Chain A
């Protein structure tokens, strides 16, 4: 089944991922690409907490993830690859051209960001980074849960 979703979500592994996407997809593995969580055992425990035992959870840095994309795409299970920010996903895409589609699932308000969609707030620089990703041939769309309609990049960045 390979990777169903390369997702940017600043809440990382949470309800929408595990339940909202995980249930209908029949999720087999989650790969969280985040240098800080990769270095923190207690945070890894935290994120494992609500994931069913049948779902493998892996924590990786960007370089490790780049090396794994080929295996994930060939994996018979269905997977979700998560990053907490645009820069990390852009680095993953740069290193792994097999990533052809990116889901923007949740980027919340911070000072300097403006609301683009109910669940997406971006600074001008972040919007430009998403457009740059698209310019490299990656399909970028926003969708928080699978029952919502995907929103094309042009509508929010």
Chain B
């Protein structure tokens, strides 16, 4: 079994804390997810915030907006860390799936996050 992947949610304003709180409310636990905001940070400060939260093991970073500062900084940090992968477009469905599948290898966890996040977006009703 692989070492459990740590999840870090990094997003604009209060979004990450809100998403982690929603995971906790629905799943009954947050699966060790850390929530980071980019508020008040330039790129260097945001990179430090991520490094502090990431720890030493495998890490999957969930960012909100592809092309936003969170995704850009996370991708830059991940260049120097083979055990860090980054996805964008984080949503609640993606995170809920992740916290129950943290034992998967990091590459599989990243691919799974992209798939589950896409699958969570659909037109409902009508």
| A and B form one complex | yes
Give me the interface of A with B, judged by CB distance under 8 Å: 10-15, 18-19, 42-43, 46-47, 49-51, 106-110
**With A and B bound together, what is the CA distance between A46 and B70 in angstroms?**
11
Contact A49 B66, CB 8 Å, known A11-B42, A42-B79: yes
Cβ–Cβ contact A108 & B42, under 8 A: yes
Given the interface contacts A14-B67, A15-B68, A43-B76, does A110 sit within 8 Å of B42 by beta carbon? yes
The count of residues in chain B whose C-beta lies closer than 8 Å to any C-beta of chain A is 18
Starting from the known contacts A13-B67, A15-B12, A109-B41, 12 additional A-B residue pairs (CB-CB under 8 Å) come to: A11-B69, A14-B67, A14-B68, A42-B79, A46-B72, A46-B75, A47-B72, A49-B67, A107-B42, A108-B41, A108-B42, A109-B42
Chain A binding surface SS class: loop
- Report yes or no: B45 in contact with A49, Cβ–Cβ below 8 A: no
CB distance B45 to A108 under 8 Å? Answer: yes
- The 13 listed contacts between A and B (C-beta, < 8 Å) are A14-B68, A42-B79, A43-B76, A46-B72, A47-B67, A49-B72, A50-B71, A51-B67, A108-B41, A108-B42, A109-B40, A109-B41, A110-B44
Q: Which residues on A sit within 8 Å (CB–CB) of B71?
A: 49-50
Q: Which residues of B contact A108 (CB under 8 A)?
A: 40-42, 45
| Interface pair B76/A50, CB less than 8 Å apart | no
User: Which residue of A13, A19, A108 has the most chain B CB atoms within 10 A of its CB atom?
Assistant: A108
Assess the A11–B12 pair: CB atoms within 8 A.
Answer: no
Q: Whole-angstrom distance between the alpha carbons of A47 and B73 in the complex?
A: 10
Assess the B65–A50 pair: CB atoms within 8 A. yes
A residues near B67, Cβ cutoff 8 Å: 13-15, 18, 47, 49-51
